[in-house]
Amino acid sequence: MLSYQHAYHAGNLADVHKHAVLAWILSRMTSKAKPISYIETHAGRGLYDLAGQEAAKTGEAAGGIARSEDWFPAAHPYARAIAAVRAKHGAAAYPGSPMIAALTLREGDRGDLAELHPAEHAALTEALAPWPLRVHKRDGGDLALSLAPPEPRRGLCLIDPSWEVKEDYRTIPRLTRKLHKAWPVGVLMLWYPLLDGRAEPSPHAPMLRALEPDLTDAVRHEVRFPPAREGHRMAGSGLLIVNPPYGLHRELESLSARFAML
Ligand code: SAM
């Protein structure tokens, strides 16, 4: 089932959280001379139009990046990625995670991205045409496991599913565990939503409780925010980062302080 389209949600507060951390980590990893591998299991289309009908329909970008942009100084890697896509594609352009990676990776780094939805895959292929990253139309978990451990060994894998089906809460931790086993030095970044509003607790909690003991070195970072609209269940954004780079905790603290003021 591939009904989820990230265009409705691009630039929301969960994206701000995920993309700011991703840009910071990639910038940190590429500040050292050694090459890196970047893998993404659920890539999306890479480039979004926040003036488009999808963004207008949900208003999530208006309550997200439009409201939080001044949190990030111009030199922050996330602000730099946003400025770069705006310079090229206009003021309403917004970079998805593959575009943030494309803008940060250097010659000699490697990038492999999976996207299963045909239209999203086509749009991603077009958006990334100027860069040598490989775009795969296949299951992202299969792709990541087929590459792990990649060469170069230093690197990052972003796991960013849409969590539409309950089954994800079983398959995604299994994938994370297997990837960590196959690629113990790899930085893994798993995004998950914090869901409120129903009788049962948010399903991320038992998933993480079961997963975390199998991870050697991992940090969890969660931020909460008001729901995008009445009845919307997403009340926050979570990241589980395996093998967090040195200095990340300061970036996470600064983000926590920003989100706490919303
Ligand atoms: N990572 C993107 C970003 O931050 O810009 C957003 C990705 S969106 C949350 C999830 C994407 O995964 C959707 O575009 C969906 O079509 C795709 N997808 C769903 N199941 C997949 C699978 N098994 N393998 C690869 N892509 C998948």
Burial track 5-23 (b if 16+ CB lie within 10 A, e otherwise)? ebbbbbbbbbbbbbbbbbb
User: Does residue 11's CB lie within 6 angstroms of at least one atom of ligand 1?
Assistant: no
Question: Which atom of ligand 1 is nearest the CA belonging to 139?
Answer: 24
DSSP alpha helix (H) spans, the chain: 13-29, 53-58, 65-68, 77-89, 97-104, 118-127, 140-147, 168-182, 204-211, 248-260
- The predicted pLDDT at position 62 comes to 94
d(CA 109, CA 155): 9
Asked if 158 and 39 touch (Cβ cutoff 8 Å), the reply is yes
d(CA 96, CA 100): 6
Q: Which helix (H) or strand (E) holds 92?
A: none
3-state DSSP percent of the chain in helix, strand and coil, to 5:
40, 20, 40
Can you give the pLDDT of all 262 residues of the chain as single tens digits?
A: 678 999 999 999 999 999 999 999 999 999 999 999 999 999 999 999 999 999 999 999 999 999 999 999 999 999 999 999 999 999 999 999 999 999 999 999 999 999 999 999 999 999 999 999 999 999 999 999 999 999 999 999 999 999 989 999 999 999 999 999 999 999 999 999 999 866 677 899 999 999 999 998 999 999 999 988 888 889 999 999 999 999 999 999 999 999 999 9
- Which of these is catalytic: 49, 160, 196, 214? 160
Q: Tell me the fold of 6-260.
A: Rossmann fold (3.40.50)
Asked if 247 and 28 touch (Cβ cutoff 8 Å), the reply is yes
User: Is 160 known to be catalytic?
Assistant: yes
Pick the closest to residue 224 from 236, 239, 240, 238 (CA basis): 236
Pick the closest to residue 4 from 161, 209, 227, 204 (CA basis): 161
Q: Does the annotation place 97 within a ligand binding site?
A: yes
Question: Which atom of ligand 1 is nearest the CA belonging to 45?
Answer: 14
- The predicted pLDDT at position 200 comes to 73
Ligand 1 center from residue 42 Cα (angstroms)? 3
Hey, whose CA ends up nearest to atom 9 of ligand 1? Answer: 162
Q: Does the annotation place 140 within a ligand binding site?
A: yes
pTM (predicted TM-score): 0.98
**Confidence check on the interface: ipTM exceeds 0.85, yes or no:** yes
Domain ranges of the chain: 6-260
Ligand 1 center from residue 167 Cα (angstroms)? 15
- The predicted pLDDT at position 198 comes to 64
User: Does residue 140's CB lie within 6 angstroms of at least one atom of ligand 1?
Assistant: yes
